[in-house]
Structure 1
Amino acid sequence: MNAPAPAPSAASRTVREAALAQARTLARAGRYAEATAVLEGEHGAAVLDLRARMYAQQGRFDDADRCWAEAAALDPGDGDAARGRARIAELRAKRASTGFGRALTAGLLPRGGAAVAALLAIVLVAALWPGDGEPAARPAVRPAPPSAAPPPSGAPPASADPLAGLRLDAPGVRAERRDGEIAVTFAGGLFDAGATLTPDGRAALTALGERLRPQGDRLAVAVIGHTDRTAVRPGGEYASNVEIGMMRATVAREVLRSSARIPTTRFTLSTLAGMLPPHGGDADPGDPRNRTVSLRVSAAGPR
């Protein structure tokens, strides 16, 4: 008789949960290829459920139903899988019903299989992830009245958007403004081959935190740990590049938390390990520049 497989360690469970959380965030943003890459090699009912939701968002109902069926087989008590399959069955029946056909014929709904699938996907995802597809409301920016006194010298300008006054570009740091966030990458690696910051890496993170500090109580920061693409040697300190990436994200958070005065609860941690490295990596899998983290800085939601 074969011995049962050993239970995963607490570190492995943490890494798996972080990967799943990162994949959920990517999926909700429609970044399915990246979410799929994060889930590579991961198994279990929760992973199958997320894959099913991504398929449903793309109108691939047969694939979604298959994944939910596999999730239900692994975890018979999984209510999410049962609800997903039931919703797909309901929509299939509605699509095949006479009334739905008449609506198509009358031109009340878009013609074409792809259009119908897209419409059904919207309905299905709204039922499974209520509210997830709706962007958060942004506070209105009201101009200051003409008589308003100017802010003290050196203070960031008053604004409803805490990102507006931030200046994060510096030597070795690239800050790219996107819709609702600032993406930060570093020109050089911040860590040694493990999860220990180099002196230059610590200095770069500390300086960045000081630039974030004026708006620190109004910011949220996502820290993504990266590694090069060199495989981890068996018997070493870390079991995988995923563990190294998560530890790097944790170390970077502590430096930023201290220097920027941002509460720990405003940070989220994840890792892509050696996937989608900031500096490529195809030509040189061991490129030390990818021993780093990248950041996504956004306005914090209400407490």
Structure 2
Amino acid sequence: MTAPAQAVREVTVAQARALARAGRYAEAEELLEGEHGAVVLDLKARMYAQQGRLDEADRCWAEVAAISPGDPGAAEGRRRIAQIRAAAASPRRFVLARSAFRLGTAAVVLLAFVMLADVWLDRDEPGAPAPVPSTPVTSPSPAPDPIAALRLKGSGLHVERRAGEIEVTFERGLFRRDAALTPRGRAVLANLGRQLRPYADQVSVTVIGHTDRRAVHPGGGYASNAELGMLRATVVREVLRSSARIPTAQFSISTLAGLLPPYPGDGASGDPRNRTVSVRISAAGGR
């Protein structure tokens, strides 16, 4: 696959993921129609699982496992589905399941989520006797949450906290019309990197490249806005990697090109604020 084609595919998958996060599953599925590969199958599996479509989710994860043997995400997804099915078959849930069936599809999906919570939280079964340790056991202290501890601030940064994630956008564009940072953009990123440095081994960073809506000029050095967006994401990754000392393996990059820009009022003339990236920070090892 050529670099521009790969960039366009990255855009498609990233847009589908954004739609799925917003609960717009039908649109996300339509966008992924005709796309293939382990990343696409894993995304489809997660979407199906969130809708209670467990057979389809399990089938997609089985295909991921066939393409990438030992894939931890596929193995964990199939394990959870097997646990949900086993829980649904247990006698203590029979009455609940029968009642949900009478109420229709929405209740069945709700029941699936109830079972997901019961299994994923690994709660003890009601009435099970607690084990009595022969020697006192001291529970280890939970590892500190770097996302809760992070307090990002600085001129030009807009910080939004979500469950398990911090998203950073920028009040002004970081780039000129190409993939060259402005002096101010480089300074803002260096400031962000310095704040992340104490958590370098504890966080993962996703950089999403954006462009304005103007089409790239022929002969300008870029085949498409998708290619330009990927280059911008790569540039920012390198600046943050250097200033924050975060290992390269803890970064991922993608692009939305001119789709879903941070400043959606972008008109035909282009909004220079969208010559930028979005940065999403989560705990290292989290999914």
Instruction: Indicate the TM-score class for this superposition, using the shorter chain for normalisation.
Output: 0.5 to 0.7
Q: Does 1:236 align with 2:220?
A: yes
Higher relative contact order (CA 8 A, sep 6+): 2
Question: Residue 106 of structure 2 aligns with which residue?
Answer: 114
Q: How far does residue 213 in structure 1 lie from its aligned partner after superposition?
A: 0.7
**Range with greater deviation from structure 2 (201-210 or 33-42):** 33-42
**Aligned equivalents of 1:183 and 1:297: distance in 2?**
6
Question: Residue 134 of structure 2 aligns with which residue?
Answer: none
Question: Residue 187 of structure 2 aligns with which residue?
Answer: 203
1:44 partner letter: E
**Aligned equivalents of 1:105 and 1:216: distance in 2?**
46
For the 8 Å contact 1:59–1:117, the answer to whether it is kept is: yes
Question: Residue 22 of structure 2 aligns with which residue?
Answer: 31
TM-score w.r.t. the length of structure 1 is 0.61
**Range with greater deviation from structure 2 (246-255 or 39-48):** 39-48
Q: Which of these residues, 263, 272, 277, is aligned with residue 293 of structure 1?
A: 277
Say if 1:296 and 1:38 are closer, same or farther in 2 by CA, change over 3 A.
farther
Q: Which has the higher helix share?
A: 2
Question: Residue 250 of structure 2 aligns with which residue?
Answer: 266
Q: Which of these residues, 10, 25, 40, is aligned with residue 18 of structure 1?
A: 10
Partner-residue secondary structure (3-state), 2:7: helix
**Aligned equivalents of 1:182 and 1:229: distance in 2?**
26
Percent identical residues: 50
For the 8 Å contact 1:185–1:295, the answer to whether it is kept is: yes
Structure 1 segment 213-228 matched on structure 2, within 5 A = 213-228=197-212
Q: After superposition, what is the alpha-carbon deviation per residue over 1:262-298, rounded to whole angstroms, capped at 9, x for unaligned? A: 0000001111111111112344650000000111111
Partner-residue secondary structure (3-state), 2:252: strand
For the 8 Å contact 1:222–1:269, the answer to whether it is kept is: yes
TM-score w.r.t. the length of structure 2 is 0.64
Q: After superposition, what is the alpha-carbon deviation per residue over 1:34-56, rounded to whole angstroms, capped at 9, x for unaligned? A: 99579859843449857865467
CA RMSD of aligned residues (A): 4.3
2:204 partner letter: A
* Residue-pair matches, total: 234
Q: Which of these residues, 185, 197, 202, is aligned with residue 169 of structure 2?
A: 185
Q: How far does residue 19 in structure 1 lie from its aligned partner after superposition?
A: 3.4
For the 8 Å contact 1:110–1:116, the answer to whether it is kept is: no
2:278 partner letter: S
**Aligned equivalents of 2:29 and 2:53: distance in 1?**
20
Partner-residue secondary structure (3-state), 2:281: strand
Q: How far does residue 164 in structure 1 lie from its aligned partner after superposition?
A: 3.5
**Aligned equivalents of 1:34 and 1:228: distance in 2?**
26
Say if 1:119 and 1:200 are closer, same or farther in 2 by CA, change over 3 A.
same
Say if 1:296 and 1:269 are closer, same or farther in 2 by CA, change over 3 A.
same
1:256 partner letter: L
For the 8 Å contact 1:220–1:297, the answer to whether it is kept is: yes
Q: Does 1:248 align with 2:225?
A: no
Q: How far does residue 109 in structure 1 lie from its aligned partner after superposition?
A: 3.6
Q: After superposition, what is the alpha-carbon deviation per residue over 1:180-217, rounded to whole angstroms, capped at 9, x for unaligned? A: 12111110000111111111111111111011111112
**Aligned equivalents of 2:32 and 2:213: distance in 1?**
16
1:241 partner letter: N
Q: Could you list the runs of 4 or more consecutive aligned residues of structure 1 that deviate by over 6 angstroms after TM superposition?
A: 102-105, 120-123
For the 8 Å contact 2:97–2:111, the answer to whether it is kept is: no
Q: How far does residue 254 in structure 1 lie from its aligned partner after superposition?
A: 0.0
**Aligned equivalents of 1:38 and 1:258: distance in 2?**
37
Partner-residue secondary structure (3-state), 1:188: coil
**Range with greater deviation from structure 2 (241-250 or 103-112):** 103-112
Q: After superposition, what is the alpha-carbon deviation per residue over 1:58-91, rounded to whole angstroms, capped at 9, x for unaligned? A: 4689xx8xxx9xxxxxxxx99xxxxxxxxxxxxx
For the 8 Å contact 2:100–2:108, the answer to whether it is kept is: no
Partner-residue secondary structure (3-state), 1:160: coil
Partner-residue secondary structure (3-state), 1:168: coil
